[in-house]
């Protein structure tokens, strides 16, 4: 499947929330209908018209059938009564049951439609559990958050009013990304001939001025920060580890992206920004190492297409993938090249794959490699930092809010009203503390 087809297939948060047509993405208002029709079998998909329902059916059929069977199993629908832990347990259980029923792993869309399924924010009753004519009442402003009754809205409204705008921003960003259809939001080919970097400008606004960015709408600008956050986080870090002269003398820049997965792969196109900020670099070598990567490339990597100006100047951006843990990769003398910087985006290393992160971090410390790691939230950053300290890291700058964080809100599926951001906090470290 092509990237564009894949994007077409991805359902929006509103489609999952049941307030946009599962086929054409329109809300009832946009489609000019009074209400959306609900699929009578699974009661989880909504359509603006019979035609849209028909068009969606081939892709929906299998999952619909499995959901239908699941909703008939009364014992699988124990009431959660406002208890989030119980609700989460139940949704995980549902995923297992659907896995089994379909005899294959669920797709991302299928997982998301369970994790983000519409539910009352107070008693946590799911839309599926409500027998018509009862149904959830969505917030008419963001259209994504619902309650089961006016009484429950009365309880939840004060809390929601503070967050409604963030939900709306999230949906607008999602629409911008959808319309881009895999094209990068940022394509600024020129660079500063006076080579003033470093230091970097002080924030996103001055950065865009420096880079002669066109006027963006607010949501488009958020999406641009999301795609530029990885390269800018790296540039800001190397500015701390290397002198201006060292950076200007660099002919080849080698970056290790550790614990890399889909996020790093999707970000690859925006890494050319590093070459545009550092025009003396002739070769940018990006080495992705992570257990979730799809396939191994040769150690020499694949040459990625650059902008016309870089191509003309014969500059190269090379990317190599190693689907393994970093410390194992480092033991392969044919594959391993010492980097200028090692990067871990949104690692959550204190709780996810900790058994792999520990030997990886210790290896980096022993080699005295300059490192920048980021976290999704302040709370995670504090715990990540503690783990790094426990493993003996010498912290250069711990747990600072990242100036180059993404401002696209992302929503945590398993905690009510909890937002997080790519590369929100960052920590720089290098070598052993003692």
**Cα–Cα distance between 64 and 281 in angstroms, integer?**
53
If one asks whether residue 120 binds Zn ion (CB under 5 A), the answer comes out as yes
Stretch that binds Zn ion, among 193-201, 271-279, 333-341, 362-370 (CB under 5 A): 271-279
Least gap, CB of 399 to Zn ion (angstroms): 32
Q: How far is CA 76 from the centre of its chain?
A: 31
From residue 11 to residue 50, what is the string marking binding to Zn ion with x (rule CB under 5 A)?
Answer: ----------x-xx--------------x-xx--x--x--
Least gap, CB of 157 to Zn ion (angstroms): 9
Element (H, E) at 399: strand 393-401
With CB under 5 A as the contact rule, the residue among 17, 36, 106, 122 that binds Zn ion is 122
If one asks whether residue 283 binds Zn ion (CB under 5 A), the answer comes out as no
- Checking DSSP bridges between strand 46-47 and strand 37-38, what pairing results, if any? antiparallel
Give the nearer residue to Zn ion in terms of CB position, either 23 or 423. Answer: 23
Least gap, CB of 218 to Zn ion (angstroms): 18
Provide the Cα torsion 388, 389, 395, 401; round to 10°.
60
HSE-CB for 92 with a 13 A CA cutoff: 7
Exposure of 364 by Cβ count < 10 A (0-12 exposed, 13-18 middle, 19+ buried)?
A: buried
Least gap, CB of 128 to Zn ion (angstroms): 10
From residue 136 to residue 175, what is the string marking binding to Zn ion with x (rule CB under 5 A)?
Answer: ---x-xx-----x---x-----------x-----------
Binding residues with Zn ion: total (CB under 5 A): 23
Least gap, CB of 280 to Zn ion (angstroms): 13
- Least Cα distance to 270 among 349, 211, 336 occurs for 211
Per CB under 5 A, contacts with Zn ion among 292-321 are: 306-307, 310
Least gap, CB of 276 to Zn ion (angstroms): 6
Stretch that binds Zn ion, among 132-140, 218-226, 237-245, 284-292 (CB under 5 A): 132-140
Give the nearer residue to Zn ion in terms of CB position, either 152 or 340. Answer: 152
Whether omega for the bond prior to residue 199 falls within 30 degrees of 0, making it cis, is yes
Give the nearer residue to Zn ion in terms of CB position, either 70 or 238. Answer: 70
- Least Cα distance to 402 among 426, 380, 419, 383 occurs for 426
If one asks whether residue 64 binds Zn ion (CB under 5 A), the answer comes out as yes
Least gap, CB of 78 to Zn ion (angstroms): 16
If one asks whether residue 196 binds Zn ion (CB under 5 A), the answer comes out as no
Give the nearer residue to Zn ion in terms of CB position, either 52 or 114. Answer: 52
Least gap, CB of 301 to Zn ion (angstroms): 18
Would you report the helix, strand and coil content of the chain in percent, each value rounded to 5?
A: 45, 15, 40
Task: Characterise 320 by phi-psi region: left (phi > 0), alpha (psi -120 to 50), beta (else).
Answer: beta
Sequence-ordered list of residues with C-beta below 8 angstroms from that of 376, at least 6 positions apart, any chain = 346, 348, 410, 420, 421, 422, 424
Q: Which string of DSSP letters, residue by residue, matches 211-246?
A: TTPPP--HHHHHHHHHHHHHHHHHHHHHHHHS-HHH
Least gap, CB of 310 to Zn ion (angstroms): 3
Give the nearer residue to Zn ion in terms of CB position, either 21 or 185. Answer: 21
HSE-CB for 140 with a 13 A CA cutoff: 2
Q: Summarize as ranges the residues that interact with Zn ion (CB under 5 A).
A: 21, 23-24, 39, 41-42, 45, 48, 52, 64, 120, 122-123, 139, 141-142, 148, 152, 164, 272, 306-307, 310
């Amino acid at each position: 499947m092509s990237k564009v087809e894949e994007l077409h297939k991805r359902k929006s948060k509103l489609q999952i929330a049941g307030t946009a047509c599962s086929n054409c993405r329109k809300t009832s208002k946009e489609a000019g209908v009074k209400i959306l029709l609900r699929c009578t079998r699974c009661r989880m998909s909504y359509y603006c018209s019979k035609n849209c329902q028909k068009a969606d059916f081939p892709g929906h059929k299998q999952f619909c059938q499995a959901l239908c069977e699941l909703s008939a199993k009364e014992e699988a629908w124990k009431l959660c009564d406002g208890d989030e832990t119980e609700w989460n347990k139940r949704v995980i259980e549902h995923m297992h049951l659907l896995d089994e029923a379909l005899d294959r792993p669920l797709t991302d869309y299928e997982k998301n439609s369970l994790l983000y399924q519409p539910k009352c924010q107070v008693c946590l009753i799911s839309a599926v559990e409500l027998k018509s004519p009862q149904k959830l009442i969505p917030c008419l402003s963001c259209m994504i958050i619902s309650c089961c009754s006016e009484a429950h809205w009365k309880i939840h409204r004060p809390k929601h009013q503070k967050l409604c705008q963030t939900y709306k921003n999230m949906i607008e960003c999602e629409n911008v990304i959808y319309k881009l259809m895999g094209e990068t939001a940022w394509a600024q080919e020129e660079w500063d001939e006076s080579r003033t970097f470093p230091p970097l400008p002080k924030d996103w606004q001055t950065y865009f001025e420096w880079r002669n960015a066109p006027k963006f709408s607010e949501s488009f600008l958020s999406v641009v920060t999301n795609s530029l956050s990885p390269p800018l986080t790296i540039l800001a870090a190397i500015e701390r580890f290397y002198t201006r002269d060292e950076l200007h003398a660099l002919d080849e820049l080698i970056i290790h992206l550790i614990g890399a997965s889909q996020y790093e792969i999707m970000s690859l196109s925006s890494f050319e920004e590093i070459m545009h900020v550092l025009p003396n670099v002739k070769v940018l070598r990006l080495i992705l190492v992570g257990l979730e990567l799809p396939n191994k490339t040769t150690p020499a990597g694949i040459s990625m297409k650059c902008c016309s100006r870089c191509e003309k100047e014969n500059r190269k951006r090379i990317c190599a993938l190693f689907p393994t843990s970093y410390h194992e990769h480092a033991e392969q003398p044919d594959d391993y090249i010492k980097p200028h910087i090692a990067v871990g985006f949104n690692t959550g290393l204190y709780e996810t794959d900790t058994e792999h992160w520990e030997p990886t971090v210790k290896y980096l410390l022993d080699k005295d490699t300059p490192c920048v790691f980021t976290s999704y939230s302040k709370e995670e950053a504090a715990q990540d930092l503690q783990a790094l300290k426990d493993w003996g890291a010498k912290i250069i700058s711990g747990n600072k809010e990242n100036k180059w964080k993404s401002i696209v809100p992302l929503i945590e599926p398993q905690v009510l009203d909890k937002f997080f951001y790519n590369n929100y906090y960052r920590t720089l470290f290098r070598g052993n503390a003692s």
